[in-house]
Structure 1
Amino acid sequence: MSKLRIAVFASGQGTNFQALADAAQQDRLEGASLELLVCDKPQAPVVERARKAGVETFVFRAKDYESKEAYEREILAELRRRGIELVVLAGYMRILTPVLVEPYMGRMINIHPSLLPAFPGMNGIKQAIDYGVKVTGVTVHYVDGGLDSGPVIAQRVVEVLDGDTEETLAVRIHAAEQEVLPWTVGRIAAGSVSLAGRHVTVTTL
């Protein structure tokens, strides 16, 4: 059985990339192969994480292109050249256009720091703190071109404690992300995730 070939898109620290790289090294991704990091910030720490993990990179600066579609066409060519079958958005801070979304519809996932559909968009952790909810969490969902609006694959609940700040809650949110994202990718690689309309079924071992 061939390995599922994965590309991760990230823009910052890369802790979720690292969680996937560690899981791959420990054979916890059901044999999935981490083939490529796509990053829009050449100086981002995630680029060094990829180098240390032995994962090739496609690094670019958006300002070097005439449009978002222009650099996305170049990314798409790179994905196709490498036979990428699953795209994982893990802290990628750019809204995608149909140039990338449509070819990978049903094969592109994102991780978001809230229990969607609550608190989509930027600053999901701060939104939860400001609203005063008692629980929040993380969501892995398919990308459908909307703002964190795609079908939900997996979620983990994180309790909001009395006295939590954005920073203290973020520690537990990120820990949950680093658990649920490799688990979800492993289920996809194992062929255990099916999508029908907005409803996702995940079978476990």
Structure 2
Amino acid sequence: MEAIKVTDLSDGRALYELGDHFITCTLSHDKRWQLGAFKRDESNLRDDTLAVLKNEKFMFMVKLGGQLSPKPQCIAVNGRFLFSVHTGKDNNMAAAIVMDNTGKELFKIETSTHLISSAISEFGRYIALSFAGSKNKDDFYAHRLEVINIDTGELLMSVIKTDFLRYAELSVVEPDGGLFATFNGRTRLIDVTNL
């Protein structure tokens, strides 16, 4: 099935028409892969399905069951993608999941702490996750910034965020999982020695 591009959006995403659905898609670095969410089941209040497109052609979908709702985060040039899963009427966070370009799950973190920002490296080897605070004071991920190697599962960085990092936009790069954070027009390389 072919998707029809309706327009580019000011935030770097694009709006596509796929059959009877309009889908706002996050684009890969090279703009060849598109990741969006839409509502297949009209009885649901929120989106319940992820759509993965390549060169504006539908590749596959990931349908979530029950009251689960996906939120596309980012997609790499090889089609690996990161999305968050939310539950119930309050849209509470449930998990962050990475899948490959066939829909195989590669990595998953279960947490009730929402993401403020996330990034995937160009070829999908690394992800960076910036978590908000949490109502659940026992949630390990509250106020954390993590960088993870998806191929090995290795945690490269896990720190409590400082003021500069609290709301920063993230970029994680290959080959080593280097992390750049941008806030108020300033960008800097982040490592555990300069937090």
Query: For this structure pair, what is the TM-score category when the shorter chain's length is used for normalisation?
Result: 0.3 to 0.5
- How does the TM-score come out when normalised to structure 2? 0.33
TM-score by length of 1: 0.32
